[in-house]
Structure 1
């Protein structure tokens, strides 16, 4: 007999800056330790490299983290170009989802770019995954969005269209590159609940990570909140926190979400993410 008690999942969002710490050292083990110590069971990571280059030692960071943490993984490359040497894997950079629960489907969605005179022209994306938590299927959308206002507005519209098409309760998380008072974030709040606002932690700043420079009197402290965990009406939040660390330029955030036991449609098996046990 299955447990009728609604499950609680700990969700984490973390822009890992390909493992580059505030001290200028790339060390993915430090990133893995932060994730492990958080006890999160569903993780959305942004700025993840796969064979990207020397900056991340040509690692497949997705596979490495999946094996290190014993989790299922899904990946969406937003930058994807051929390696300089023939026969080598493509250089990729994008978003990853890690889960202690099976990932039964995943798809990467490129956001529509908007050409403007300011800001970079980096391709942005949202990685979608369907995850089975006990007998409940949920859709998780992991976003890394643009710094450009018009593109950010369009991306949020596209995210809302994606979530509206989901058959399952939705979690939207990631690096939105915008503070809570920006119009696109207010638009997200029309359809989803901001976990930190719900817990009256709207001042839980995530960028930049705290760091003291030994060669000067400069101390960095978080001054804005641009990383979010949103959830749909089928869920409730019972706890939120930021994790203080300098292993990236963003602070990771976590939320404990209660998943209501509603009538479920079995998730599609048409595409299965790779898994690491």
Structure 2
């Protein structure tokens, strides 16, 4: 009899434990964070005589392995880069990425501007221009914008390149015009490019009124130009609005010091 009652007690205990577990509230699985790796790279396409070989530039991109790349100084069927033809398309082929080129101006028998490369699905491609102050003159600049998606998160990615003259008036105009352009964007945006402006400049102050800097605490101090003797920070990654992304890593890749006169800048952002 003792053994029988002991067995009943064990069965009852197991039953009560099972019933208790059934009444426990469900445990939420932690939400997996979605991140995107972006890169900006001025590829020195405006050098005299053009780019000798695209393969080293493509190898830098492959080694970084970004989701998105912003390219500046990009030629399309110019005489100086005649052997490469459409450089954005060729780099897309060499890296296995989709591409989009935005023309800033006609130049040297072809076109010159900015481009983007993407491993992410591209939903839309758009091009815009940034003008100069008429009294100062200079080169019209371009904005290459794509709309992409990653795991159902939709956002824009932009490549641009501000004026290079020592007089800052064109960059100030382009910064103001670009902010006004971005205010009409329907989706969050990550902007990457060669802004030809140092962190303390009025140009960057204008951009920071609307955009957040991708570098830690907004403090971009690591030099990006020139690779031969780096002394300036002029290449950046920015984003808007503030709550759309969370920067987690921001690096200037100084190991790529032969392929261009600019170091590539790479950022990883969590998509909120």
TM-score band, normalised by the shorter chain? 0.7 to 0.9
- Which residue in the other structure is 1:273 paired with? none
Question: Which protein has the bigger helix share?
Answer: 2
Identify the match of residue 62 of structure 2 among 32, 36, 39: 36
1:250 aligns with 2:262: yes
Q: How many residues align?
A: 236
- Which residue in the other structure is 1:265 paired with? none
1:224 aligns with 2:242: no
CA 1:31 to 1:150, structure 2 compared with 1: closer, same or farther past 3 Å? Answer: same
- Which residue in the other structure is 1:204 paired with? 222
Identify the match of residue 177 of structure 1 among 196, 199, 205: 196
Aligned-pair distance for 1:18?
2.1
Quote the Cα distance in structure 2 between the aligned partners of 1:77 and 1:257.
Answer: 28
Flag structure 1 segments of 5+ consecutive residues without an equivalent. Answer: 84-90, 211-220, 261-277
- Which residue in the other structure is 2:147 paired with? 130
Contact kept in structure 2, 1:114 and 1:150, CA below 8 Å: yes
- Which residue in the other structure is 1:103 paired with? 122
Identify the match of residue 40 of structure 2 among 7, 10, 13: 13
Quote the Cα distance in structure 1 between the aligned partners of 2:51 and 2:94.
Answer: 19
Aligned-pair distance for 1:14?
0.5
Q: Using structure 1 for the length normalisation, give the TM-score.
A: 0.79
Quote the Cα distance in structure 1 between the aligned partners of 2:91 and 2:158.
Answer: 19
Q: Using structure 2 for the length normalisation, give the TM-score.
A: 0.80
Contact kept in structure 1, 2:45 and 2:51, CA below 8 Å: no
Contact kept in structure 2, 1:26 and 1:56, CA below 8 Å: no
Contact kept in structure 2, 1:19 and 1:26, CA below 8 Å: no
Aligned-pair distance for 1:20?
5.9
Bigger-Rg structure (1/2): 2
CA 1:20 to 1:34, structure 2 compared with 1: closer, same or farther past 3 Å? Answer: farther
Contact kept in structure 2, 1:199 and 1:239, CA below 8 Å: no
Superposed CA RMSD: 2.2
Does 1 or 2 have the higher relative contact order (CA < 8 Å, sep 6+)? 1
